[in-house]
Structure formats: structure tokens, C-alpha cells
Amino acid sequence: MQELLGLLVAAVPGVHRYSFQKAENLHRTGELLTAVHEYAAARGCFAKGLAISKKMPSGPASLDANDLITKLHTSRERIAGK
């Protein structure tokens, strides 16, 4: 099911709400994993979220990927040495 949804999102690039929410959820999950000291898993979430959000359109919009990318980078850097 996830694969099919991914293909549909890729086929309709103008519809990026799903990708934005997925990247945002990965950021939140990474933050939760950080809170319980699961740094390797958190880094994985941040990396996946960054990969998704960097493929999204950026600029002034209700779903601006730039802000999300900044949050993901900040979170990843905060736990880099842990």
C-alpha cells in the first residue's frame, strides 16, 4: 500500500501534502526517539525526512519545505555526537 501511495504521489508532483506530512512525521518521530536516547534510529528518521523534503517544492506556500528542512538539519546536528 505504501509503495502504491508513493507512486501516486510521484505521478502527481503538484500534490505534495502527503510527502510533507510524511517528512514532518519522521521529524517528530526522530525527536521522540531522541528523547529516549535512541540516537541511531533518530538519525535514520531525520535522514529519511530530509531526503523526502529536499525533493519537494520550496518557497512561500502553506507547506514550505524550507522550514521543515531547517528543523530536520537542526535536530540531526543536535544529536550528531551522541
The total number of structural domains that make up the chain = 1
Span 21-35, average pLDDT: 96
What pLDDT is stored for residue 65 in this prediction?
Answer: 83
Asked if the structure places residue 1 within a domain, the reply is no
Q: What is the pTM of this model?
A: 0.71
Distance CA 58, CA 48 (A): 17
Asked if the structure places residue 6 within a domain, the reply is no
Span 20-49, average pLDDT: 96
Residue of 58 and 24 predicted with greater confidence: 24
Asked if the structure places residue 3 within a domain, the reply is no
Q: What is the mean pLDDT of the chain?
A: 85
pLDDT in tens, 59-81: 666 677 888 899 999 999 999 98
The set of cell numbers assigned to 7 is 507512486
Burial class from Cβ neighbours inside 10 Å (0-12, 13-18, 19+) for residue 39 reads middle
Q: At what angle do helices 17-35 and 39-54 cross, to 10 degrees?
A: 160
The set of cell numbers assigned to 46 is 531525520
Nearest residue to 63 (alpha-carbon basis) of 23, 29, 12, 27: 23
What pLDDT is stored for residue 38 in this prediction?
Answer: 97
Asked if the structure places residue 42 within a domain, the reply is yes
Domain that holds residue 20: 16-78
Asked if the structure places residue 2 within a domain, the reply is no
